[in-house]
Structure 1
Amino acid sequence: MSKDRRTDDPVVLQKALGNFIRAFGLHQPETTPCGQAIPVSEAHALGELAQEGELRQVELSRRLRLQKSTVSRLVGQLSARGWLERVPAPEDGRGVVLRLTSSGRRAAQNLDDARRERFSRLLESIPDQERAGVLHALDVMVEALGE
Protein backbone atom coordinates (compact mmCIF):
# COMPACT_ATOMS: atom_id res chain seq x y z
CA MET A 1 0.00 0.00 0.00
CA SER A 2 1.41 3.44 -0.91
CA LYS A 3 2.08 6.01 1.77
CA ASP A 4 -0.45 8.41 0.16
CA ARG A 5 -3.20 5.82 0.36
CA ARG A 6 -2.44 5.05 4.01
CA THR A 7 -2.75 8.71 5.03
CA ASP A 8 -6.17 8.90 3.40
CA ASP A 9 -7.48 5.73 5.05
CA PRO A 10 -9.72 6.45 8.08
CA VAL A 11 -9.03 2.95 9.42
CA VAL A 12 -5.34 3.84 9.71
CA LEU A 13 -6.26 6.94 11.76
CA GLN A 14 -8.68 4.89 13.87
CA LYS A 15 -6.03 2.30 14.68
CA ALA A 16 -3.39 4.93 15.40
CA LEU A 17 -5.72 6.76 17.79
CA GLY A 18 -6.78 3.50 19.42
CA ASN A 19 -3.15 2.57 19.99
CA PHE A 20 -2.49 6.00 21.52
CA ILE A 21 -5.57 5.78 23.76
CA ARG A 22 -4.47 2.40 25.11
CA ALA A 23 -0.80 3.38 25.46
CA PHE A 24 -1.73 6.56 27.32
CA GLY A 25 -4.27 4.76 29.53
CA LEU A 26 -7.33 6.71 28.41
CA HIS A 27 -9.35 3.50 28.11
CA GLN A 28 -9.21 3.20 31.92
CA PRO A 29 -11.70 5.93 32.91
CA GLU A 30 -11.33 5.41 36.66
CA THR A 31 -7.59 6.17 36.62
CA THR A 32 -5.84 9.17 35.13
CA PRO A 33 -3.06 8.67 32.57
CA CYS A 34 -0.67 9.90 35.27
CA GLY A 35 -1.68 6.96 37.47
CA GLN A 36 -3.99 8.64 39.98
CA ALA A 37 -7.01 6.65 41.19
CA ILE A 38 -9.60 9.24 40.23
CA PRO A 39 -11.94 9.30 37.24
CA VAL A 40 -10.52 11.27 34.33
CA SER A 41 -13.56 13.56 34.21
CA GLU A 42 -13.10 14.48 37.89
CA ALA A 43 -9.41 15.18 37.29
CA HIS A 44 -10.26 17.53 34.42
CA ALA A 45 -12.88 19.33 36.53
CA LEU A 46 -10.41 19.74 39.40
CA GLY A 47 -7.84 21.15 37.00
CA GLU A 48 -10.24 23.71 35.56
CA LEU A 49 -11.43 24.82 38.99
CA ALA A 50 -7.88 25.00 40.36
CA GLN A 51 -6.84 27.13 37.40
CA GLU A 52 -9.78 29.56 37.61
CA GLY A 53 -10.53 29.61 41.32
CA GLU A 54 -14.27 29.38 40.72
CA LEU A 55 -16.60 28.71 37.81
CA ARG A 56 -20.29 28.57 37.12
CA GLN A 57 -21.45 25.06 36.37
CA VAL A 58 -22.46 25.97 32.82
CA GLU A 59 -18.93 27.23 32.16
CA LEU A 60 -17.44 24.03 33.55
CA SER A 61 -19.73 22.08 31.18
CA ARG A 62 -18.51 24.15 28.24
CA ARG A 63 -14.84 23.74 29.13
CA LEU A 64 -15.10 19.99 29.68
CA ARG A 65 -17.30 19.54 26.60
CA LEU A 66 -19.78 17.54 28.65
CA GLN A 67 -23.56 17.65 28.91
CA LYS A 68 -25.08 19.65 31.76
CA SER A 69 -26.52 16.49 33.34
CA THR A 70 -23.11 14.81 33.26
CA VAL A 71 -21.49 17.82 34.92
CA SER A 72 -24.26 17.88 37.54
CA ARG A 73 -23.37 14.30 38.49
CA LEU A 74 -19.68 15.17 38.40
CA VAL A 75 -20.22 18.14 40.72
CA GLY A 76 -22.17 15.87 43.06
CA GLN A 77 -19.30 13.37 43.12
CA LEU A 78 -16.72 16.06 43.83
CA SER A 79 -18.94 17.52 46.55
CA ALA A 80 -19.37 14.08 48.13
CA ARG A 81 -15.57 13.73 48.26
CA GLY A 82 -15.42 17.08 50.07
CA TRP A 83 -13.43 18.63 47.23
CA LEU A 84 -15.95 21.15 45.94
CA GLU A 85 -18.41 23.61 47.39
CA ARG A 86 -21.22 25.61 45.85
CA VAL A 87 -21.19 29.25 46.92
CA PRO A 88 -23.33 32.27 46.00
CA ALA A 89 -22.03 34.12 42.96
CA PRO A 90 -20.57 37.46 44.06
CA GLU A 91 -22.24 39.45 41.25
CA ASP A 92 -25.58 37.63 41.32
CA GLY A 93 -27.34 36.73 44.56
CA ARG A 94 -29.32 33.92 42.92
CA GLY A 95 -26.40 32.44 40.99
CA VAL A 96 -24.02 29.79 42.27
CA VAL A 97 -20.37 29.23 41.54
CA LEU A 98 -18.27 26.15 42.12
CA ARG A 99 -15.12 26.45 44.18
CA LEU A 100 -12.60 23.92 45.46
CA THR A 101 -12.33 23.32 49.17
CA SER A 102 -8.90 23.17 50.81
CA SER A 103 -8.88 19.38 50.39
CA GLY A 104 -9.99 19.85 46.77
CA ARG A 105 -7.07 22.22 46.19
CA ARG A 106 -4.70 19.62 47.69
CA ALA A 107 -6.17 16.90 45.45
CA ALA A 108 -5.80 19.19 42.42
CA GLN A 109 -2.19 19.94 43.38
CA ASN A 110 -1.42 16.22 43.75
CA LEU A 111 -2.91 15.60 40.30
CA ASP A 112 -0.96 18.51 38.85
CA ASP A 113 2.30 17.16 40.31
CA ALA A 114 1.64 13.66 38.95
CA ARG A 115 0.62 15.08 35.58
CA ARG A 116 3.73 17.25 35.35
CA GLU A 117 5.94 14.24 36.13
CA ARG A 118 4.18 12.01 33.56
CA PHE A 119 4.32 14.62 30.81
CA SER A 120 7.96 15.44 31.57
CA ARG A 121 8.87 11.79 31.09
CA LEU A 122 6.78 11.61 27.94
CA LEU A 123 8.33 14.75 26.48
CA GLU A 124 11.84 13.46 27.24
CA SER A 125 10.95 10.29 25.29
CA ILE A 126 10.11 12.26 22.15
CA PRO A 127 13.20 13.17 20.10
CA ASP A 128 13.86 16.93 20.14
CA GLN A 129 13.39 17.25 16.38
CA GLU A 130 9.96 15.53 16.58
CA ARG A 131 8.43 17.56 19.43
CA ALA A 132 7.13 20.48 17.36
CA GLY A 133 5.53 18.06 14.91
CA VAL A 134 3.83 16.10 17.69
CA LEU A 135 2.43 19.28 19.25
CA HIS A 136 1.29 20.55 15.87
CA ALA A 137 -0.45 17.23 15.12
CA LEU A 138 -2.32 17.42 18.42
CA ASP A 139 -3.43 21.00 17.66
CA VAL A 140 -4.65 19.91 14.22
CA MET A 141 -6.61 17.01 15.75
CA VAL A 142 -8.27 19.25 18.35
CA GLU A 143 -9.21 21.75 15.66
CA ALA A 144 -10.60 19.00 13.43
CA LEU A 145 -12.65 17.59 16.32
CA GLY A 146 -14.06 21.04 17.07
CA GLU A 147 -15.91 21.14 13.75
Structure 2
Amino acid sequence: MSSESVPRPEVDRLQNSIVAFVRAFGLHQPDTTPCGQTIPISQAHALTELAARQPINQSELGMILRLTKSTVSRMVGLMERRGWVERVRGGAADGRMVLLRLTDTGERMAATIAAARRARMEIFLDRIPTAQRDAVLQALSILTEAADDH
Protein backbone atom coordinates (compact mmCIF):
# COMPACT_ATOMS: atom_id res chain seq x y z
CA MET A 1 0.00 0.00 0.00
CA SER A 2 1.49 3.37 -0.98
CA SER A 3 1.96 6.15 1.53
CA GLU A 4 -0.41 8.30 -0.57
CA SER A 5 -3.39 6.10 0.25
CA VAL A 6 -2.74 5.83 3.99
CA PRO A 7 -4.62 8.48 5.98
CA ARG A 8 -2.19 10.79 7.73
CA PRO A 9 -3.90 12.96 10.34
CA GLU A 10 -0.79 15.11 10.72
CA VAL A 11 -1.19 16.19 7.07
CA ASP A 12 -4.70 17.45 7.85
CA ARG A 13 -3.42 19.15 10.98
CA LEU A 14 -0.61 20.87 9.04
CA GLN A 15 -3.01 21.95 6.32
CA ASN A 16 -5.52 23.33 8.81
CA SER A 17 -2.79 25.12 10.74
CA ILE A 18 -1.34 26.76 7.63
CA VAL A 19 -4.78 27.83 6.40
CA ALA A 20 -5.58 29.30 9.83
CA PHE A 21 -2.24 31.17 9.84
CA VAL A 22 -2.76 32.52 6.31
CA ARG A 23 -6.15 33.87 7.31
CA ALA A 24 -5.02 35.26 10.68
CA PHE A 25 -2.01 36.91 9.04
CA GLY A 26 -4.17 38.37 6.26
CA LEU A 27 -2.40 36.67 3.36
CA HIS A 28 -5.72 35.79 1.72
CA GLN A 29 -6.34 39.50 1.07
CA PRO A 30 -4.18 40.11 -2.02
CA ASP A 31 -4.76 43.88 -2.25
CA THR A 32 -3.73 44.69 1.32
CA THR A 33 -0.53 43.73 3.06
CA PRO A 34 -0.65 41.90 6.38
CA CYS A 35 0.72 45.07 7.95
CA GLY A 36 -2.29 47.07 6.73
CA GLN A 37 -0.95 48.86 3.66
CA THR A 38 -3.42 49.15 0.77
CA ILE A 39 -1.07 47.83 -1.88
CA PRO A 40 -0.97 44.38 -3.48
CA ILE A 41 1.23 42.03 -1.50
CA SER A 42 3.39 41.23 -4.54
CA GLN A 43 4.12 44.93 -5.08
CA ALA A 44 4.98 45.39 -1.41
CA HIS A 45 7.47 42.52 -1.68
CA ALA A 46 8.90 43.99 -4.88
CA LEU A 47 9.36 47.42 -3.28
CA THR A 48 11.07 45.81 -0.29
CA GLU A 49 13.46 43.83 -2.47
CA LEU A 50 14.21 46.78 -4.73
CA ALA A 51 14.97 48.95 -1.71
CA ALA A 52 17.47 46.34 -0.52
CA ARG A 53 19.07 45.37 -3.85
CA GLN A 54 18.56 48.09 -6.43
CA PRO A 55 19.29 48.43 -9.19
CA ILE A 56 18.41 44.95 -10.42
CA ASN A 57 16.86 43.59 -13.59
CA GLN A 58 13.39 42.14 -13.90
CA SER A 59 14.68 38.57 -14.16
CA GLU A 60 16.51 38.86 -10.84
CA LEU A 61 13.43 40.36 -9.21
CA GLY A 62 11.31 37.52 -10.54
CA MET A 63 13.72 34.90 -9.19
CA ILE A 64 13.81 36.54 -5.76
CA LEU A 65 10.02 36.83 -5.59
CA ARG A 66 9.46 33.48 -7.32
CA LEU A 67 7.13 35.00 -9.88
CA THR A 68 6.89 34.33 -13.61
CA LYS A 69 8.36 36.71 -16.16
CA SER A 70 4.93 37.84 -17.32
CA THR A 71 3.73 38.47 -13.77
CA VAL A 72 6.83 40.53 -12.96
CA SER A 73 6.50 42.46 -16.21
CA ARG A 74 2.87 43.39 -15.46
CA MET A 75 3.70 44.25 -11.86
CA VAL A 76 6.66 46.45 -12.81
CA GLY A 77 4.49 48.22 -15.39
CA LEU A 78 1.89 48.97 -12.71
CA MET A 79 4.55 50.17 -10.30
CA GLU A 80 6.07 52.33 -13.01
CA ARG A 81 2.67 53.94 -13.69
CA ARG A 82 2.29 54.61 -9.96
CA GLY A 83 5.61 56.44 -10.06
CA TRP A 84 7.41 54.00 -7.76
CA VAL A 85 9.86 52.39 -10.20
CA GLU A 86 11.91 53.56 -13.13
CA ARG A 87 13.89 51.67 -15.71
CA VAL A 88 17.51 52.65 -16.24
CA ARG A 89 20.18 51.42 -18.63
CA GLY A 90 22.78 49.01 -17.24
CA GLY A 91 26.38 49.81 -16.53
CA ALA A 92 29.43 49.75 -18.76
CA ALA A 93 29.48 45.94 -19.05
CA ASP A 94 26.19 45.84 -20.94
CA GLY A 95 24.59 49.17 -21.72
CA ARG A 96 21.63 47.36 -23.26
CA MET A 97 20.55 45.81 -19.97
CA VAL A 98 17.58 47.52 -18.36
CA LEU A 99 17.64 47.74 -14.59
CA LEU A 100 14.93 48.69 -12.13
CA ARG A 101 15.38 51.40 -9.55
CA LEU A 102 13.01 52.99 -7.06
CA THR A 103 12.00 56.59 -7.57
CA ASP A 104 11.90 58.96 -4.60
CA THR A 105 8.19 58.16 -4.28
CA GLY A 106 9.00 54.44 -4.42
CA GLU A 107 11.67 54.86 -1.74
CA ARG A 108 9.13 56.55 0.53
CA MET A 109 6.56 53.82 -0.10
CA ALA A 110 9.15 51.10 0.59
CA ALA A 111 10.10 52.85 3.86
CA THR A 112 6.42 53.09 4.86
CA ILE A 113 5.93 49.39 4.20
CA ALA A 114 9.11 48.48 6.10
CA ALA A 115 8.04 50.51 9.14
CA ALA A 116 4.52 49.03 9.12
CA ARG A 117 5.90 45.50 8.71
CA ARG A 118 8.35 45.98 11.57
CA ALA A 119 5.61 47.34 13.86
CA ARG A 120 3.38 44.36 13.08
CA MET A 121 6.23 41.90 13.67
CA GLU A 122 6.96 43.52 17.04
CA ILE A 123 3.33 42.95 18.05
CA PHE A 124 3.51 39.31 16.92
CA LEU A 125 6.77 38.71 18.72
CA ASP A 126 5.41 40.24 21.92
CA ARG A 127 2.45 37.82 21.76
CA ILE A 128 4.72 34.76 21.58
CA PRO A 129 5.88 33.64 25.02
CA THR A 130 9.58 34.37 25.40
CA ALA A 131 10.40 30.72 26.11
CA GLN A 132 8.79 29.65 22.80
CA ARG A 133 10.21 32.29 20.46
CA ASP A 134 13.24 30.29 19.34
CA ALA A 135 11.05 27.24 18.69
CA VAL A 136 8.61 29.31 16.62
CA LEU A 137 11.43 30.82 14.56
CA GLN A 138 13.01 27.40 14.05
CA ALA A 139 9.66 25.93 13.00
CA LEU A 140 9.16 28.73 10.47
CA SER A 141 12.63 28.10 9.07
CA ILE A 142 11.96 24.37 8.73
CA LEU A 143 8.57 25.04 7.13
CA THR A 144 10.13 27.45 4.64
CA GLU A 145 12.77 24.87 3.70
CA ALA A 146 10.09 22.21 3.27
CA ALA A 147 8.03 24.51 1.04
CA ASP A 148 11.04 25.55 -1.04
CA ASP A 149 10.75 23.78 -4.37
CA HIS A 150 14.14 24.90 -5.65
Bin of the TM-score, shorter chain as denominator length: over 0.9
Aligned to 2:63: 62
Deviation at 1:106, TM superposition (A): 0.2
**Unaligned runs of at least 5 residues, structure 2:** 1-7
Deviation at 1:145, TM superposition (A): 1.1
- RMSD over equivalenced CA pairs, Å: 1.4
Q: Write the distance in 2 (CA, Å) between the matches of 1:66 and 1:8.
A: 32
Q: Percent of aligned pairs with the same residue?
A: 51
Q: Write the distance in 2 (CA, Å) between the matches of 1:142 and 1:56.
A: 25
Q: Equivalent residues in 2 for 1:12-51 (5 A)? A: 12-51=13-52
User: What stretches of structure 1 move > 6 A for 4+ residues in a row?
Assistant: none
Q: Write the distance in 1 (CA, Å) between the matches of 2:55 and 2:13.
A: 41
Q: Write the distance in 1 (CA, Å) between the matches of 2:9 and 2:73.
A: 40
Deviation at 1:8, TM superposition (A): 5.4
Deviation at 1:53, TM superposition (A): 2.2
Aligned to 1:122: 124
Letter in 2 for 1:66: L
Deviation at 1:114, TM superposition (A): 0.4
Letter in 1 for 2:23: R
Q: Write the distance in 1 (CA, Å) between the matches of 2:99 and 2:107.
A: 16
Deviation at 1:67, TM superposition (A): 0.5
Q: Write the distance in 2 (CA, Å) between the matches of 1:121 and 1:101.
A: 30
Could you tell which deviates more after superposition, 94-103 or 8-17? 8-17
Aligned to 1:74: 75
Deviation at 1:86, TM superposition (A): 0.4
Q: Which has the higher strand share?
A: 1
Deviation at 1:11, TM superposition (A): 1.2
* Number of matched pairs: 142
Q: Equivalent residues in 2 for 1:108-147 (5 A)? A: 108-147=110-149
Aligned to 1:10: 11
Deviation at 1:92, TM superposition (A): 1.1
- 1:41-88 Cα offsets, whole Å, 9 max, x none, are 000000000011211110000000011110001101100100000000
Q: Write the distance in 2 (CA, Å) between the matches of 1:133 and 1:106.
A: 35
SS in structure 1 opposite 2:42? helix
